[in-house]
């Protein structure tokens, strides 16, 4: 129960990494707001948490990058959580796996709106209240392809580079006021499947782990960054990527 008595808002929490983080936070005692666009999937996540004895509520949000949408989510989540948000996880994002020449301006603007503007204005809405309450923790989701280039996804990787830069800037801005800001950089992470070969698994060949990761690995890291064990940790990007960006292995 490392997060007992705390409240948390997790964006993009209706599937994959966001869902795993919300479930892990609740299992550690936090009251969690599960946020996303799909009310049906949101209810499924909340019901699963409650069946296991956890506390969770769903707040629908379409984080389109507007400051108004981010502020509205912050206000409603604060209300549902009883007046405060102790932990914010900026997880929501979209990934169009296109090449640069295949990306149009509308897509460019949309991806930056969802992946950069939305967490920017959500943090701007939540962090001051954390300061006033005496502290808090903000966790951003980066990506391994922000630092290791691949031939598709330049647009997405650039947004995650921006998020990792914001992590360091926010640590400097809000850390002295009691709000710790850190990021997690996942490798190739997908929910486990029985007997199904995932095409993206090739991206993890030749790494120390030698396999794709699962969402719970990222959730464990998020619990650490949200809890007291990381009280002296500010402004880091924690690589949870099976060694993809840190070690070169010659595959047999």
Tokens at 143, concatenated: 């990506």
| Active-site choice (95, 112, 156, 224) | 156
Q: In sequence order, which residues have a C-beta less than 8 Å from that of residue 96 and are 6 or more positions away?
A: 103, 107, 111, 153, 155, 156
Say how far apart CA 213 and CA 10 lie, in whole Å.
20
Is 156 assigned a catalytic role?
yes
Query: Which of 177, 77, 152, 170 minimizes the C-alpha distance to 116?
Result: 170
The residues that are catalytic are 156
């Amino acid at each position: 129960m490392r997060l007992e008595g705390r409240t948390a808002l997790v964006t993009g929490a209706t599937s994959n990494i966001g869902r795993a983080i919300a479930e892990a936070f609740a299992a550690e005692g936090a009251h969690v707001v599960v946020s996303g666009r799909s009310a049906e999937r949101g209810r499924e996540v909340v019901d699963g948490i409650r069946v296991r004895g956890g506390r969770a509520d769903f707040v629908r949000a379409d984080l389109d990058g507007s400051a108004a949408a981010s502020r509205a989510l912050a206000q409603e989540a604060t209300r549902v959580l009883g007046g405060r948000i102790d932990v914010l996880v900026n997880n929501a994002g979209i990934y169009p796996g296109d090449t640069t020449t295949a990306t149009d301006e509308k897509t460019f603007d949309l991806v930056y709106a969802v992946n950069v503007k939305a967490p920017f204005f959500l943090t701007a809405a939540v962090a001051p209240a954390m300061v006033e309450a005496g502290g808090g923790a903000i966790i951003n989701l980066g990506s391994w392809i922000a630092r290791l280039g691949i031939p598709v996804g330049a647009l997405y990787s650039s947004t995650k580079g921006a998020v990792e830069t914001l992590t360091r800037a926010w640590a400097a801005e809000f850390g002295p006021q009691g709000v710790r800001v850190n990021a997690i950089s996942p490798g190739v992470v997908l929910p486990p499947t029985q007997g199904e070969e995932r095409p993206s698994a090739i991206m993890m060949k030749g790494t120390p782990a030698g396999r794709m990761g699962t969402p719970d690995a990222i959730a464990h890291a998020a619990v650490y960054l949200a809890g007291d064990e990381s009280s002296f940790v500010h402004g880091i990007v924690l690589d949870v990527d099976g060694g993809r960006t840190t070690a070169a292995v010659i595959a047999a």
